[in-house]
Structure formats: C-alpha cells, structure tokens
Amino acid sequence: MPTNAKGNYTGKVAFVTGTASGIGRAAALAFAREGASVVAADVSEQGNQETVRLIEDQGGQAITVRCEVTRDEDVKASLAKTVEAFGRLDFAFNNAGIEPRKPTPTAEYEEEEWDRLIDTNLRSVFLCMKHEIPLILKQGGAIVNTSSGAGITGVKGSPAYSAAKHGVIGLTRSAALDYAARTSASTPSVPASPTPRC
C-alpha cells in the first residue's frame, strides 16, 4: 500500500479480516489513512468496535461486521454487507488466523487441533477469496492473504500451522494463475509471495 500518496484510496473500499487486534487492526487503520472506507471483520465484537473507533478518530469511515471466517454463510453475508454499505469492493486483506495451543510433534497431534488450525488459517482464506474475487473483478482491485515463513520452512511442533500457511501460498498462487490471462484493469492482484506473520 503506498504511503506517499495521502488519499490515494479515496472512494475505494477495503474488506479486512482479523481486525480486532494486531496486523488486521494495523492494516485497517492504514487503509483508512489512505482514504479507503473499511469493513472490519472479526468474531471479537469488542475489539472490532475499538478498531472502528480508532479509524473514525483519525477521520476515516468504517463499519464492523461479525464474521466467523470458517463459515461460508458468514463470509458471504459480510461481503454482502460491504456492498450494501459502500456499493463495491476494491481491496481484500484475508488476515484472520490463529496459532497452535502448544508445540506438538506430528505423530502426537490431535485431529481436533489440526482441524481448528486448518479451518481458520486455510479454509477461511479460500472462502473469502471465493466470494471476494467476483466482486473485485467488477472494477479491479487487489487481494492479499497473510501467510508465514512457517509455510516455507516449516516450524518444529507446528505441523497444522505450517501446512495451513503453506496451503495459503499455494492457494494464492493458484488464484493468480486463474486470472493471469485477464489483462484488463479488472484483473485482481494476488501476490505470489507470502505476507509474513509471526
């Protein structure tokens, strides 16, 4: 996102997941500083409302939506609210994610913990992209997905987290290839390299 063009995103709309804290909150504030209207999506309503308050305090425009990103109906409804409120979608930052409860070797890993990590860190990105891409294709824009160095190198005791983040990289690259043949301004920008997440 450019930092030297104040108001460069005026009239644009950004949908950001995981906005109740951390990277998601920082990204939502950055989009707003550049003039974009922001849709802050998270399951933590209190944290999400604080993010919107911070955006409004700096003169930005934002709404909050409660979105469980592992549920297709929640994602679809959140993006419908985005279009209802602002009429379009230009940018999506699929950032919501969780970390393992504790380091556990692969052979000792519980299925429940595997499913929890894969659903939140990988399935959610797929669901978001599934519904974001058709909206962004209408006028062009960009999608960014949060991955991690763990998706490239792996992390000891974190097989599900590493697998999910590796999956995000593959999913992102696959989506970029799906739409690479479209050379008009409506092509979504989907970077092939991962966004670091600690």
- Active-site positions read 161
CA-to-CA distance for 83 and 89, rounded, in angstroms? 7
Exposure pattern of 43-64 as b/e (b: 16+ CB <10 Å)? beeebbebbbebbeeeebebbb
- Compute the CA torsion angle 161, 132, 196, 9 (nearest 10 deg): -160
* Helix axes of 159-179 and 111-118: crossing angle, nearest 10 degrees: 30
